[in-house]
Amino acid sequence: MKKGFTITYEYGGNLYVNPTNRCNFNCEFCLRHNGHDGSIYTHNLWLEREPTKEEMLSSIESWDLSKYKQLVFVGFGEPSYRLEDICWVIDRLKEHGTKIFTRMDTNGTANLIHGRDVCPDFAGRFDMVSISLNTDTAEKYEALCHPVQPGAYQAMKDFAKEIQKYVPTVMMTVVDTIPPEEIENCRRICEEEIGAIYRVREYIED
């Protein structure tokens, strides 16, 4: 696959940051499959190397940030691999007087990736975290996402509960291609079991 060095890109009124291509999942629906290079964003999101924290900051600050609703850390991989550097970047932005709504879109397994509870690191830095719930049982989750670590479904749900202590808005998402009954089961898990905001996302064609 062709690699580039797209660190930041605009999409839907937000500015997105692409910190890593690493991921501990291999989701069946991942846009990275089949030679895709991030076509929905019209950018090549495969990185020839990960940007340093300084490169992330300078790429973000090269845009007029007053134009965007949100600064979203996501990219073509699981952004929480770069949590420490992302926190550093947000701290520098705050020091520089930048006021922008910050969000991370994540698979919700940062605590498994880092082997510790990283939720407190989000406090005062992120306005929102969006977590992919994907499905309603651990068995289906394993089959769909192929996580490296065992117990990922429960770890993701635990993270979604815990992170609410530190981040004002926590959302969990599924895509609208799953059956209606599963959508409702996921709504119950999200709203009643975890207490997060539920969103059914539209499936984006390859």
Residues that bind ligand SF4 (CB under 6 A): 23, 25-27, 30, 32, 77-78, 107, 145
Nearer to ligand SF4, 19 or 136 (CB): 19
Amino acid at 178: I
Nearer to ligand SF4, 24 or 100 (CB): 24
Nearer to ligand SF4, 65 or 144 (CB): 144
Among 136, 139, 130, 137, which Cα is nearest to 159's? Answer: 130
| Token pair for 112 | 């498994």
- Nearest distance from C-beta of residue 10 to ligand SF4, angstroms: 20
- Nearest distance from C-beta of residue 71 to ligand SF4, angstroms: 19
- Nearest distance from C-beta of residue 124 to ligand SF4, angstroms: 26
Phi, psi of 40, rounded to the nearest 5 degrees:
-65, -20
Report how far Cα 138 is from the mean position of its chain's Cα atoms: 20
- Nearest distance from C-beta of residue 107 to ligand SF4, angstroms: 4
| Token pair for 30 | 């991942």
- The answer to whether the CB of 18 falls within 8 A of the CB of 9 is yes
